[in-house]
Structure 1
Amino acid sequence: MQETTPRQRLAGVLILLGLIVQIAGFTGELSTAHAVSYLLWAGVALLWRDIPRRSRFQAGVLIGLGAGMLVVARFVYGAEVDWPAMLQGNVFVVAMLVGVSFISLIGKQGNKGASGSRLTGAGGVLRTWLGVHFLGTILNLSTVFMVGDKLARRGPLTIPQLLALNRGLSSAALWSPFFASMAVVIALVPDVQYARIAMVGFPLAMVSGLLTTLELRRRFDLADVAGFSLSPRSLLMPVGMALLVMLFHFWLTPSLTIVSIITFLLPGVALLSNLPQGPRWTLRRIRQHTTTRLPAMRGEISLFLAAGLLTIGLSTLVSAAAGSDWTLFATFGAPQAMISFVAITLSALAGLHPIIGVSVLASILNMQGDEQTLFAFVALGSWAFGTSVGPLSGINLSLQGRYGVSGYRMMKNNLGYAAAMSALVLAAIALVAWWQ
């Protein structure tokens, strides 16, 4: 494990404090929004030089644009700008991502948690996809490394294996309530009907797995391609966590959003699961996580915070320049949703993370009622397939850094898949719009 510097460890502590303060705010006893945003941004500032060059450039552009728009709105159009609150965009999402990261402290994720059978052929590809998909609904990106490292023990990962990892995880964005995509959506459109999203998104995700298996069997000789299947016992933890979230959401803390529940529940479960080993053991694991894992999240944290600042800046400027009643579309129905999906997905090919397109779109729409659910499906669909094909998406950059595959090679191999799934998403958009 790479040794961290005092600066990085301090940044990890600030990020942890941001999570703790955010959880404290759920009690409703005090307002913590300013403190959380300042702590998280301070952590990013300390880690800025460590962020990969491309990600740093992208985040820097977003920050510059967001701040510049606020300045223009204030001094050109005379808008009232709440400067102390300008850094609060997406802090709910970032706090949830930090909370979810503590799932790695539950058990021994890198060892027994991933134990399962190994097989080859199309069945192996499908089971790799299924394992990454379902375990990834809770563990997110860490699942790719957990399964990928197991497969890599037999030799360098092949393109079919990498594509199964990529698509298995990214397609979970269509329905998983634990994904950052869902957190962003709920933050932007809090009245979204999750049940409707899941009823359409989950079957679409299953089609993704089937299409991946059939396509890879046609394009590659899979006879010697090793697959990986998670054992049923390994799925007990993510299923149990999902049930706990539903328990809190519907009965114990119905006033809190799913994002808020996940933010405090996963760290809480991680803490309780370690306490039987003793307080000293527990503190040692938390300290290690704080000083190593949290600083390693600098890329995604900086991107989400920067996109949040852009959203605040753009919405403020648009409101000041065009009036608060101006929106991109007078109504948000199937045609507008389809155009938005295509635009966001194509922007991912150009290297923009879907969160940018989703955030920008939300800031220039005035959605009411069921339009929010339709927007949510557009956002999740573009996220699922934009990240799978985008050369600079988090999943492809992670695969490049871990296993040495070019993000552009992943993009090339995913173009046909993304086109086919996008056609299905467009049909699903029409279904969701009709359902309203």
Structure 2
Amino acid sequence: MSAQTADAASPEVAPRHALAGLAILVGLLSRIASLAWWPAIEALTGPALWLGTALLWPDLPRRNRRQAGLLAGIGLGLLLVATFGYGARVDWSRVLDGNTQVVAMLVGVSFIGLIGNLRGQSRPPGHPVTGRRGLLGTWLGVHLLGSILNLSTVFMVGDRLARRAPLTMPQLLGLNRGLSSAALWSPFFASMGIVMTLAPAMDYATVLVHGLPLALCAGLVTMIELPRRFDLTDTAGFSMAPRSLLLPVVMAALVMGFHFGLTPALSIVAIITFLMPGTALATNLIHGPRWTLGRLHRHTLTRLPAMRGEISLFLCAGLLTLGLSTLADVATEGGWTLFETFGAGEATISFLAILASAVAGLHPIIGVSVLASVLELADGQQTLFAFTALAAWAVGTSVGPLSGINLSLQGRYGVSGTRMMRENLRYALIMAALVVAGILVMA
């Protein structure tokens, strides 16, 4: 099929959405160019991403719009108080730069969808994988594939399961927990990008050593808990072929190869930003330049505007973090932090506070950003902070009624975020105990 034919089959896109998609693409390209040869062009990244957000603002769900608007409003208000109340010197030309590196990474990761659809082999419709084995396949498939493809994997696997019948609660919980627990270790998640930005001296290898076993514990808890609560006899699961793991393994190997070999000076966030879209477009070039441009065109007009929820949340949270840190610094003359030191006790309190805020309806990025803005972390404390933040994100997004995964499940499959919260409370309590144990071990 030619690019023109594919384009013709694409739905019409409103001019506002097309312009927003183009602005987001410009934000990504300016970030990549700044990493390669033109550092000054990064000044365009923030304004371009904010322009795309402003154009897509009317399309945000009311709840998301209220939350993002509140974050941005508070952040801007704090900057004004710091400027006119305390005489702070704010570089207003860089106010829009908060979290833009992470947003650019998210946009870059979205291009992985151009490599192709999920090709896991499911059994014929008459012979579904059911019971514990099916639940394990669902959790493991979403966890491993989602560690690279993020939220899109939930829809790919969920839609495949929904072909037989509407999704049941065990299936929804498998999707929810499989994806959220990957935030504990995956370098391709927004959570890791945020944490690496807030704690640049963190040791990723140490986080991986502690986070990956905790993620496996999340799967084990799911496999023990759900069969006791639900009858899984007729609950179909996802059966995954070994070749389905090829993409995550290859992408992870490429990132590690660049990080430790080709571009050791760049952070993992930066490497992912250019490597993901570059790899995706390169795989399409085997079909010719016209095909590749056609797919890039459709991706820009449809997929990038569809990221409006996460982009707006991260940008507005970045503005809040800047406002909080600026005001706290100027009001205390740089002499106050929330904790004098950041050890096991402080990490545990921080984790529980962020988790409680997630249950109350705040996205974990808000708690993590606020915490980082009122801490003065030494290099040796940043790894513990990173683990704490990632764990709060992983558990908080699973149970939080307004987290991205639960809002997505609500919009796609009709389950309420409040019910997902109730069904995950026991899981969250168990995982919280395991996280606190992990904090004690690391500290």
Shorter-chain TM-score tier: over 0.9
Residue 185 (1) aligns with residue 191 (2): no
Counterpart among 234, 255, 260 of residue 250 in structure 1: 260
Counterpart among 206, 213, 228 of residue 196 in structure 1: 206
Counterpart among 303, 311, 320 of residue 301 in structure 1: 311
Q: Distance in 2 between matches of 1:28 and 1:47?
A: 31
Structure 2, unaligned runs of 5 or more? 1-9
Residue 366 (1) aligns with residue 376 (2): yes
Q: Distance in 2 between matches of 1:2 and 1:239?
A: 34
Q: Distance in 2 between matches of 1:3 and 1:424?
A: 49
AA at the equivalent of 2:120: A
2:121 is matched with 115
AA at the equivalent of 2:53: V
Contact 1:166–1:396 (Cα < 8 Å) also in 2: yes
Moved segments of 4+, more than 4 Å: none
AA at the equivalent of 1:386: G
How much has 1:4 moved relative to structure 2? 2.4
Q: Distance in 1 between matches of 2:305 and 2:76?
A: 25
Give the number of aligned pairs. Answer: 430
Structure 1, unaligned runs of 5 or more? none
Residue 323 (1) aligns with residue 333 (2): yes
Q: Distance in 1 between matches of 2:57 and 2:38?
A: 33
- After superposition, where does 1:29-428 map in structure 2 within 5 Å? 29-107=38-116, 109-110=117-118, 113-117=119-123, 118-428=128-438
Q: Please say which of residues 37-46 and 26-35 is displaced more in the overlay.
A: 26-35
Q: Residues 321-343 of structure 1: CA distance to partner in whole angstroms, max 9, x if unpaired?
A: 11212110000000000000000
Contact 1:114–1:146 (Cα < 8 Å) also in 2: no
Contact 1:114–1:147 (Cα < 8 Å) also in 2: no
How much has 1:391 moved relative to structure 2? 0.3
How much has 1:3 moved relative to structure 2? 3.6
Q: Residues 108-139 of structure 1: CA distance to partner in whole angstroms, max 9, x if unpaired?
A: x15xx233344000111011100100011000
2:5 is matched with none
Q: Distance in 1 between matches of 2:287 and 2:330?
A: 57
Percent of aligned pairs with the same residue? 65
How much has 1:166 moved relative to structure 2? 0.1
Secondary structure of the corresponding residue to residue 238 of structure 2: strand
Q: Distance in 1 between matches of 2:422 and 2:322?
A: 34
Distance verdict in 2 for CA 1:203–1:350, change over 3 Å: same
Q: CA RMSD in A?
A: 0.9
Q: Distance in 2 between matches of 1:36 and 1:224?
A: 50
Contact 1:249–1:256 (Cα < 8 Å) also in 2: yes
How much has 1:2 moved relative to structure 2? 5.3
**Structure 1 length normalisation: TM-score?**
0.97
Contact 1:128–1:165 (Cα < 8 Å) also in 2: yes
How much has 1:27 moved relative to structure 2? 2.3
**Structure 2 length normalisation: TM-score?**
0.96
Secondary structure of the corresponding residue to residue 223 of structure 1: coil
AA at the equivalent of 2:145: L
